[in-house]
């Protein structure tokens, strides 16, 4: 029987969805589910039974969503990067796994080597309790029971503290899903754009609507009123940006042959004019069918552009309207906390 694929949205928030003493138009501060960081379960099912359960990132609120939902231990955790709002729940999953399977069982973590090293340096108790299933850039490996998916990591730049950060492409016989994690720009070779083209679903960091790379996040569009124009903040950033710095955060000098080869090709082809620094710039290259917007803040839009912070409904409507104005036909949606998305 044909397998079905679903995503459960455990959280849609940025690192601090609502700061203490404040409110936020996008998030409901009275609903704990809406205070959770962006995290997702990717499920493959057959005849109504789950055969693969993959957790993608595990920040604040992830465990509460898992327990009040299906209340099962994910088969593995796949990490986009090592920051706390993507890893805080890892230990809870690992301890649950060891309680069920015994003290000698090591829980599998799919991540790049720099991300895994960052994880165990942040949570030293995990060093002997987890097993790295290393993700090398551009190289696919199977993941999940019954080899439900192939998983390919593509490097991204998310500032100097996010060593090894990557977007994650999951592919099955009938479905292709891309999770960007947090980023300022993806570090893709020319051939990678072809591999990422026409995904069924892209879940994307949408921290702000307009460019302000000083926040270590990209934006949905270019400057207000001209979605494909980069504007002064991004232009200033690009004047001092070095492609060697972009690659250096992934430690190519100390890494294996696959990493060195990947970044050698990336650096040869690097062209800042063609490098995507907004969601719309990437979408023009890879044309995903549906785009899920998460990790919204809007603080930079208000501070640097005097543009309002939007509600969830307003962001969804604005994104679709702005994309249409740029000639982009992908569908954009803002998920609800706990939402099940059928792929």
Average the pLDDT over 132-141 and give the result: 97
Average the pLDDT over 156-177 and give the result: 95
pLDDT greater at residue 145 or residue 276: 276
Helix (H, G, I), strand (E, B) or coil at 143: strand
pLDDT greater at residue 257 or residue 85: 85
Where does the pLDDT of residue 255 fall: very low under 50, low under 70, confident under 90, or very high at 90 and above?
Answer: confident
Per-residue pLDDT at 28 = 97
Torsion of CA 279, 293, 39, 81, to 10 degrees: 10
Where does the pLDDT of residue 60 fall: very low under 50, low under 70, confident under 90, or very high at 90 and above?
Answer: very high
Per-residue pLDDT at 3 = 82
**pLDDT exceeding 90 applies to what percent of the chain?**
90
Is residue 245 predicted with pLDDT exceeding 90?
no
pTM, rounded to two decimals? 0.97
- End-to-end CA gap in the chain: 17
> How many domains does the chain contain in total?
1
pLDDT greater at residue 172 or residue 254: 172
Which domain, by its residues, includes 169? Answer: 4-342
Average the pLDDT over 69-83 and give the result: 97
Where does the pLDDT of residue 103 fall: very low under 50, low under 70, confident under 90, or very high at 90 and above?
Answer: confident
Average the pLDDT over 191-210 and give the result: 98
**b/e sequence 282-316, b meaning 16+ C-beta within 10 Å:** bbbebebebbbbbbbbbbbbeebbeeebbebeebb
190 vs 111: CA distance, rounded Å: 23
Average the pLDDT over 269-295 and give the result: 97
Per-residue pLDDT at 252 = 61
**Are 150 and 133 within 8 A, CB to CB?**
no
Per-residue pLDDT at 298 = 98
Per-residue pLDDT at 8 = 98
Report the CATH number that the domain containing residue 252 is assigned in CATH. 3.60.15.10
Is residue 1 predicted with pLDDT exceeding 70?
no
Alpha helices, H only, the chain: 62-68, 84-87, 90-101, 113-122, 190-195, 231-240, 243-248, 257-269, 279-286, 299-305, 312-325
Per-residue pLDDT at 105 = 86
| CA separation, residue 160 to residues 164, 180, 210, 214 (Å) | 10, 17, 21, 12
Average the pLDDT over 152-162 and give the result: 96
Is residue 92 predicted with pLDDT exceeding 70?
yes
Average the pLDDT over 124-146 and give the result: 95
Query: In whole numbers, what is the pLDDT of the chain averaged over residues?
Result: 95
Average the pLDDT over 6-19 and give the result: 98
Per-residue pLDDT at 253 = 66
């Amino acid at each position: 029987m044909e397998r079905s694929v679903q995503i459960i949205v455990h959280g849609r928030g940025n690192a601090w969805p609502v700061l203490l003493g404040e409110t936020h138009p996008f998030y409901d501060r009275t609903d704990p589910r809406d205070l959770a960081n962006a995290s997702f379960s990717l499920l493959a099912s057959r005849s109504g039974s789950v055969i693969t359960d993959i957790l993608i990132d595990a920040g604040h609120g992830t465990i509460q969503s898992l327990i009040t939902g299906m209340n099962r231990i994910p088969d593995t955790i796949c990490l986009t990067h090592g920051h706390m709002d993507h890893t805080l729940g890892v230990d809870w999953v690992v301890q649950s796994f060891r309680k069920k399977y015994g003290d000698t069982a090591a829980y599998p973590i799919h991540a790049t080597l720099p991300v895994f090293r960052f994880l165990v340096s942040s949570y030293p108790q995990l060093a002997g309790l987890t097993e790295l299933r290393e993700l090398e850039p551009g190289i696919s490996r199977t993941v999940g029971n019954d080899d439900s998916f192939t998983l390919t990591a593509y490097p991204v730049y998310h500032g100097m503290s996010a060593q090894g950060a990557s977007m994650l492409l999951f592919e099955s016989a009938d479905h292709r899903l891309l999770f960007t994690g947090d980023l300022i720009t993806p570090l893709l070779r020319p051939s990678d754009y072809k591999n990422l083209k026409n995904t069924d679903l892209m879940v994307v960091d949408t921290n702000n609507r307009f460019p302000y790379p000083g926040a270590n996040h990209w934006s949905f569009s270019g400057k207000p009123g001209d979605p494909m124009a980069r504007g002064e903040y991004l232009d200033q950033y690009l004047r001092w940006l070095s492609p060697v710095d972009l690659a250096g955060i992934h430690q190519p000098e100390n890494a294996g042959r696959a990493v060195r080869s990947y970044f050698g090709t990336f650096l040869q082809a690097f062209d800042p004019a063609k490098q995507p620094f907004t969601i719309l710039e990437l979408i023009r290259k890879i044309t995903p069918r549906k785009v899920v917007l998460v990790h919204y803040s809007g603080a930079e839009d208000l501070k640097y552009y005097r543009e309002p912070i939007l509600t969830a409904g307003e962001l969804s409507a604005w994104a679709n309207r702005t994309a249409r104005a740029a000639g982009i036909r992908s569908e954009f949606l803002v998920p609800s906390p706990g939402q099940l998305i059928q792929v």
